[in-house]
Each structure stands twice: as structure tokens, then as C-alpha cells.
């Protein structure tokens, strides 16, 4: 069965009933990751945060609103977001509301019909809608829930069509970087950011996939990774590896349980490793190599903001996301809701290792320990992470260091 990123919003109500695609409506989609309700997902009580949303502005200095793209280090040209294909949507909510330029998708008022029409070109295609946490299929000219479809899922239905992972509605193109450690080839993308002394930044356009796969429940060591569902297909098809905090930071495993600088975790970040003298005491700007290849470092809190420069008020997967989000990869960043590996999970069934939240959230480690309120000795067991939901980003969240999260790398500057 095939899957494709399509720009439509399907709302589960009676046939031809009209409802608004608005986050304020009941059942309008997941709450901010930091505030997941007890009935909305498996990240309950896992993520702590001191803020809910992030509009992508950096905490200091000014930035230009340019989103044009220069050649990357390999000379591959990136086209400006204003070139070639225009994004017809005028809504800030991504592809789930529209100015009405896309027929059979939404009306000019931002409302949609439940049984939206689909052309014969899309017959048999499926699309997961994160806001509704449900998959739809184009059948007999209409988008209907998979649960109502006459099509029987194949044995391989848990896999997804990733052929459009690097297809952007703004026609970005990509460079390539080969990791000398294992020969893994990564797509890269370069953005003009115009932030202080930084003209442009080059990012991995996909999650890091370094190391040998190990089964969940196995102690993670150097050069190892977890793959979602303990299935190498996910690591090999864009989702990348999932790693504990200490592995990503290239710190001793004990640092997942003890604060850095303690007797059990005698390491520190090099706060001088950033190009901004005025911010050399701020961890949010630190360039920490960690698990990334030489010449690259783990994407930090401010660099996640720089990715959004030029995005206006858009954030989250509506701007950065690719397939499985139901968005058009507007920024070319090809973000995936890769889910996480929860370990030491306290549930009634005493599960200790659970893969969860694929197609719902993207969580990425960033340098630093979480020190939010309400957590006893937080730095000992919580690391900082960026959480991305379908329409929002939080760069100030924290989660248990022993969990398995994704990683993005950015080239040193």
C-alpha cells in the first residue's frame, strides 16, 4: 500500500458535516507535547517543560527574515523558498487549513468536508493525519478512514512509503555528506540565517543513523543504536537511530543517572566552543560534537530556532515536517515523527522498554541537563530535548536521559 503527503484536512464527523480545523475545537489534535493529556498519548508524565510553544526566534540578537538558500559545501544549489513552486496556503496552520486555492481540500473559510474528494490519481494512496491520529485511504474517489475501507492491509502495512522524504513543496535540493566512520551517506541542506556573524548553516536533512543496532533492553555502548520496534527498516529508511542522552553527548553511561560534574559523571561542556563571545556562558549556544562526525556537532537549542528563521509564526511539523505528518516539507528539513524508546517505564504491566509515539512526535536531544521545577534532582536523570508536534515546537523540554531519542547534526562554523 502506498502513502503520499497530500494537502488536505479530513475531519471525522457525519458525511458532509462541516467542522473547523482549529486547535481550539474539541478533538482537534494532540495538545502540546509538554501537556499531553492522559488520554492522548504515551508521553504522559515523560516530558517536562517550562514553555509550551516556540515560534523560532533566538534569545538574543537580531535575525534577517531571509529563507533563500545558498550552495552547500558540496556546491549543490538550493532554490529560494520564493522560487519555483509557490505555497498557495496562506494559513499559519500548515496544510490543514488553506486560503481555498486547493480544490477538494478546504473552503476559503478554513472549513472542510468529511468525505473530501480525491482524484483517480490517488486511488489506493493512504495518508496519516496526526491531528486525528487516524489513517485515511483514497477509495472510489473519496478519502475515508482506513477502518471503513474494504481494502485489507498487507502484511507489510506497518512500513511507510518514504519515496517523498526529500521532496519539498518549495523544491529545495540537497547536498550530501559521507560519514567516514561507517560510510553512511546523509542528505544535507543549507539555509541562510543571517544571525549575527553566521551567514548560513548546513544541517543534516535526516536523523543520525550511526552505530550497530541493538535490541531494546540492552545496555547502550559506544557505536550502538536502537531502531524503532527493534526493526532495522526504520533506521535504514530515514527515521535514523534512537539514542540515550549519554550516548549522544559521548559521556559515560553513568551520566544518564548522575549530574555532570559529579563524582560519578566527571565531565563538563566546553562553553567556550561557540563563536559568540557574549554568549560563551550559555549552554544553548554550545557546539558539542558528541556522537556526530568530526566537523559536526549535536544541534543545540539556538540552532533549532535558526532553522525557523524566515518562517514567520509557523513552527512544528507544519513547516519542518515531511511524510507521515501530512505536510509538504516546506522547509526541506524532512523532519519525521520518529517516536521514542521509553525505558524503565512504570505501568501496570511493568513494561520496561516500549517504543511509542511514531507518527505523533519528533523528539531530539540537545546539549544540556533539564532543571525544570517540580522534579527532584532533575539534572541527575533528565536531559534537555526539543519536542515537535504537528503544529508546534518546544525547545525547552526535558525527558529522562535513559530514553531513546533522535539526533540531528549541524556543521561546525
Domains of the chain: total: 1
* Pairing verdict, β 2-3 and 125-129: parallel
**What is the pLDDT at residue 38?**
29
Q: Widest CA span of the chain, in angstroms?
A: 65
Domain membership of residue 143 (yes or no) is: no
Domain assignment present for residue 144? The answer is: no
* Residue whose entry in the numeric block shows the C-alpha cell 559515560: 252
DSSP state of 212: E
Dihedrals phi, psi of 254, to nearest 5 degrees: -60, -25
Residue 147 included in any domain? no
Give the contacts of 266 (CB within 8 A, at least 6 positions apart): none
Among the listed residues 179, 192, 163, the one whose alpha carbon sits nearest the alpha carbon of residue 407:
179
Least reliable range by pLDDT among 128-137, 155-164, 294-303, 323-332: 128-137
User: What three-state secondary structure class fits 7?
Assistant: coil
**Would 196 be classed as within a structural domain?**
yes
Query: Cell 481540500 belongs to which residue?
Result: 105
Position 281 pLDDT exceeds 50: yes
pLDDT of 30:
30
Q: Considering the domain boundaries, does residue 224 fall inside one? A: yes
* DSSP label of 374: T
State the Cα–Cα distance between residues 64 and 70, nearest whole angstrom: 15
Q: Is 7 a member of any domain?
A: no
Indicate yes or no: pTM above 0.85.
no
Query: Looking at the domain assignment, is residue 105 inside a domain?
Result: no
Three cell numbers, residue 91: 494559513
Handedness of CA 195, 173, 167, 105 (dihedral sign): positive
pLDDT surpassing 70 at residue 88? no
Residue 96 maps to a domain: no
Helix (H) or strand (E) holding 135: strand 134-139
pLDDT band (50, 70, 90) for residue 364: very high
The yes-or-no verdict on residue 404 having pLDDT over 50 is yes
Tell me which residue range forms the domain holding 210.
Answer: 47-65+165-411
C-alpha cell at position 116: 473530501
- As a whole number of angstroms, the distance between CA 408 and CA 331 comes to 15
Examine the pLDDT at 125 and tell me if it is beyond 80: no
Write the CA distances from 355 to 41, 98, 165, 255, 342, integer angstroms. Answer: 12, 34, 22, 22, 6
* Beta strand segments in 246-331, E: 296-298
Amino acid at each position: 500500500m502506498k502513502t503520499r503527503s497530500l494537502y488536505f484536512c479530513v475531519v471525522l464527523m457525519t458525511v458532509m458535516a462541516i467542522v473547523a480545523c482549529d486547535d481550539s475545537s474539541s478533538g482537534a489534535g494532540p495538545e502540546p507535547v509538554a501537556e499531553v493529556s492522559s488520554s492522548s498519548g504515551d508521553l504522559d508524565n515523560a516530558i517536562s517543560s517550562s514553555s509550551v510553544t516556540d515560534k523560532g526566534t533566538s534569545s538574543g540578537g537580531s535575525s534577517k527574515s531571509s529563507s533563500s538558500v545558498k550552495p552547500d559545501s558540496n556546491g549543490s544549489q538550493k532554490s529560494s523558498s520564493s522560487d519555483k513552486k509557490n505555497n498557495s496556503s496562506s494559513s499559519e496552520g500548515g496544510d490543514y487549513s488553506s486560503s481555498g486555492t486547493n480544490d477538494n481540500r478546504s473552503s476559503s473559510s478554513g472549513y472542510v468536508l468529511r468525505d473530501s474528494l480525491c482524484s483517480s490519481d490517488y486511488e489506493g494512496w493512504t495518508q496519516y493525519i496526526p491531528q486525528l491520529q487516524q489513517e485515511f485511504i483514497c477509495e472510489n474517489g473519496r478519502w475515508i478512514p482506513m477502518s471503513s475501507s474494504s481494502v485489507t492491509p498487507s502484511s507489510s502495512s506497518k512500513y511507510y512509503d518514504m519515496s517523498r522524504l526529500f521532496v519539498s513543496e518549495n523544491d529545495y535540493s540537497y547536498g550530501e555528506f559521507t560519514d567516514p566512520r561507517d560510510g553512511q551517506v546523509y542528505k544535507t541542506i543549507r539555509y541562510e540565517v543571517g544571525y549575527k556573524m553566521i551567514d548560513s548553516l548546513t544541517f543534516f536533512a535526516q536523523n543520525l543513523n550511526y552505530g550497530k543496532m541493538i535490541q531494546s533492553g540492552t545496555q547502550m555502548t559506544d557505536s550502538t543504536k536502537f531502531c524503532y520496534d527493534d526493526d532495522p527498516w526504520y533506521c535504514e529508511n530515514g527515521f535514523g537511530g534512537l539514542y540515550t542522552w549519554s550516548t549522544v553527548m559521548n559521556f559515560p553511561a553513568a551520566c544518564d543517572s548522575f549530574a555532570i560534574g559529579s563524582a560519578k559523571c566527571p565531565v563538563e561542556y566546553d562553553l567556550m566552543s561557540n563563536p559568540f563571545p557574549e554568549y560563551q556562558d550559555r549552554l544553548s549556544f554550545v557546539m558539542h560534537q558528541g556522537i556526530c562526525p568530526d566537523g559536526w556537532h549535536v544541534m543545540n537549542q539556538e540552532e533549532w530556532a535558526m532553522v525557523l528563521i524566515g518562517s514567520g509564526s509557523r513552527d512544528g511539523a507544519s513547516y519542518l515536517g515531511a511524510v507521515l505528518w501530512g505536510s509538504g516539507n516546506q522547509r526541506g528539513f524532512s523532519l519525521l515523527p520518529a517516536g521514542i524508546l521509553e525505558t524503565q517505564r512504570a505501568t501496570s504491566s511493568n513494561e520496561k522498554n516500549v517504543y511509542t509515539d511514531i507518527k505523533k512526535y519528533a523528539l531530539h536531544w540537545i546539549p544540556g541537563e533539564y532543571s525544570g521545577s517540580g522534579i527532584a534532582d532533575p539534572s541527575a536523570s533528565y536531559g534537555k530535548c526539543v519536542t515537535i508536534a504537528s503544529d508546534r515546537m518546544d525547545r525547552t523540554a526535558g525527558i529522562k536521559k535513559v530514553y531513546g531519542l533522535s539526533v540531528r547534526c549541524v556543521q561546525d562554523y
